[in-house]
Every structure is written in C-alpha cells, then in structure tokens.
C-alpha cells in the first residue's frame, strides 16, 4: 500500500513537472542537443521550393507559387544578411534553382528551358534547351537537369544536352551529388544512391505515399533530405536516414555560407542559428 502511494505520488509530481515544461514555451529549437534560434526570413509566401544558396552573396534563391490555385511559379531570392527580398525577372515559370559556387553563376530552370542570372542586369537570360520543362537542376562541375514529364536526367555542357549515361535506364525526379561523387536521386519507387561512373543503385528509402520534397548538401557536401515531416541526414555508413528535426510540412532546404540550416514550410522561409548560451 505504502509503495503504491509513494509511486502514485511520484507519478503525480512527475506529471506536474512535465506539465510545467509544457506550459513554458521554448522560442528556439533543439538540434543534436544544441539550442537554435528561429529566424524568420520571409513570411506570407506560398510553398517556397527548390532552395539554393549562393555562398558569395549569401542569397537564398527559391521559387514559389504566385497564386494559390494555378501552376504559376516565380523565382525570387532573400539576401540572408539584409533580408532583402526580390523577384527574378526574365524567366518563364521559374521552378528550379542551382548555383555554381566557383563561378558564382545562378541557374534557373523554367517551363521552357534553362536560364542564367545576369548579376549586372539583375535579371535572368535564356541559356538553352527551349523544349524542356525543367524539373530539377544541380551544378557540380557541370550542369545537370531533369525534365518533366519524362523524368530523364541530362547534362548541359557547352550548349549541348546529353542524357546522363549512368542513369539512362531509370527515371529521376530530384537528385544531388555529394562530396564523394555519389549521386542521390528519387523517383516514385524511392530514394537511391549511386556512385558516379557505375550503374548500381542502392535503395535508401522506399516511398509508400509521401515523397521527398527536397535534397540538399551542406557546405561539407553531406546530404540532407526533406520529407513532409522534417529534415533527415543521410548516413552512408549504414545506408540510413536519421531524423534531425521535425518540421510540419517542410518544403525546401539549403545551407547558408556559415552552414546554418535554411528551410521553408508551406508559408515561410526560416533560418536556424545555433546559440550555445541558451537552452529550452
Ligand atoms: C527508380 O530507380 C531505381 C534504381 O535505378 C529503379 O530500380 C526503379 O525501377 C526506378 N523506378 C521508376 C519508377 O522508374
């Protein structure tokens, strides 16, 4: 009897403690035991997608839906230092963004080809592949892009589009290449990795109904995956995804030039900055 009472009291005390924790709001977020400040970069924006940070200017480029109920997309950027927001003119339906960090070039994929941002004119100019509805785009040594609806992956080199050999037998929706030249890609079956120069894919994650919203590499070239319920880190040593952070309805992910997480959800763009002096 005594023991039961003691246990019951302990449970009540514990419940009280938990309750107190719950009512005390935390205005940050804990990632790997480190407190992170939540910085709102842009709000009231519909599903920012395909985020790409240009390290030299610390701008995050992205596209978003202009109107709630049609398929019109616009490329825009937010300067991560000043929070300046601007649209990129000159692109028809800007949907996908990629950055060549070495040459500071920003590429934009639209519904009629690939465009390149002209820093002097502050607008985008048509580059090539007029007949392609560009779905995803990525730069590592050369420009890669996937198209809709075929889901074929191409490279674009010296004005020439060529189907990417390693993945010519498979469909590719999103893709990214990591620091060890491993290409991660998704199709309706799942998330796969494949060493460049080979044709053997490794399955990381099979999809039943949810798809990958975005793939990103951080400044070290490690790969991160956005699923609708949060951000996951790829662990190549045991072919798995580790959930880093739960976010409701996350749409896109990138890393700024200090390796801070920049992500979007259905209505806003957020940056997370570590602060070791704070806790929740
Ligand atoms: C997705 O890619 C994998 C690996 O190449 C392949 O086995 C699978 O058939 C592909 N799924 C679709 C729908 O093309």
pLDDT of residue 68: 77
Domain boundaries, the chain: 2-274
Mean pLDDT of 18-29: 70
pLDDT tens-digit series, residues 87-98: 999 999 999 999
pLDDT of residue 87: 97
Q: Whose CA is nearest to atom 11 of ligand 1?
A: 189
Pocket residue to mutate for ligand 1, from 201, 202, 208, 239, most atoms within 8 A of Cβ? 201
Atom of ligand 1 nearest to the CA of 151: 14
Asked if residue 265 lies in contact with residue 228, where contact means CB atoms within 8 angstroms, the answer is no
Please give the class, per CATH, of domain 2-274. Answer: mainly beta
> Beta strand 160-163 with 153-157: parallel, antiparallel or unpaired?
antiparallel
pLDDT of residue 21: 53
pLDDT tens-digit series, residues 68-120: 777 789 999 999 999 999 999 999 999 999 999 999 999 999 999 999 999 99
pLDDT of residue 67: 85
Pocket residue to mutate for ligand 1, from 165, 192, 196, most atoms within 8 A of Cβ? 192
Q: How far is the CA of 181 from the centre of ligand 1 (A)?
A: 20
Asked if residue 259 lies in contact with residue 220, where contact means CB atoms within 8 angstroms, the answer is yes
Helices (H) and strands (E) in the chain, counts: 1, 25
Q: Is the pLDDT of residue 55 over 50?
A: yes
Q: Is the pLDDT of residue 10 over 70?
A: no
Alpha-carbon torsion (90, 94, 98, 101), positive or negative: positive
Buried b / exposed e along 40-60 (16+ C-beta atoms within 10 A): ebbeebebbbbbbbbeebebb
Query: pTM for this one?
Result: 0.89
Distance CA 28, CA 280 (A): 7
């Amino acid at each position: 009897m005594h023991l039961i009472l003691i246990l019951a009291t302990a449970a009540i005390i514990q419940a009280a403690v938990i309750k107190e924790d719950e009512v005390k709001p935390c205005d940050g977020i804990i990632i790997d035991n480190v407190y992170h400040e939540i910085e709102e970069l842009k709000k009231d924006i519909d599903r920012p997608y395909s985020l790409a940070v240009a390290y030299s200017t610390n701008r995050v480029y992205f596209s978003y839906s202009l109107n709630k109920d049609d398929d019109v997309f616009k490329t825009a950027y937010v300067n991560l230092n000043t929070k300046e927001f601007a649209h990129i003119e000159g692109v028809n339906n800007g949907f996908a963004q990629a950055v060549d960090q070495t040459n500071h070039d920003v590429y934009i994929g639209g519904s009629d080809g690939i465009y390149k941002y002209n820093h002097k004119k502050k607008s985008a100019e048509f580059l090539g592949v007029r007949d392609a509805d560009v779905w995803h785009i990525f730069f590592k040594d050369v420009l890669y892009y996937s198209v809709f609806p075929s889901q074929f992956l191409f490279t674009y080199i010296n004005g020439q589009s060529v189907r990417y050999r390693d993945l010519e037998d498979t469909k590719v929706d999103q893709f990214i290449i990591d620091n060890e030249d491993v290409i991660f890609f998704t199709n309706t079956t799942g998330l796969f990795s494949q060493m460049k120069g080979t044709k053997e894919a490794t399955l990381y994650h099979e999809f039943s109904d949810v798809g990958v919203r975005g793939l990103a590499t951080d400044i070290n070239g490690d790969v991160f995956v956005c699923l609708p319920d949060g951000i996951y880190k790829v662990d190549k040593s045991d072919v798995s995804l580790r959930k880093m952070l739960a976010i409701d309805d996350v749409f896109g992910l990138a890393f700024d030039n200090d390796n801070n997480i920049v992500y979007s959800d259905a209505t806003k763009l957020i940056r997370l900055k570590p602060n070791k002096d704070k806790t929740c």
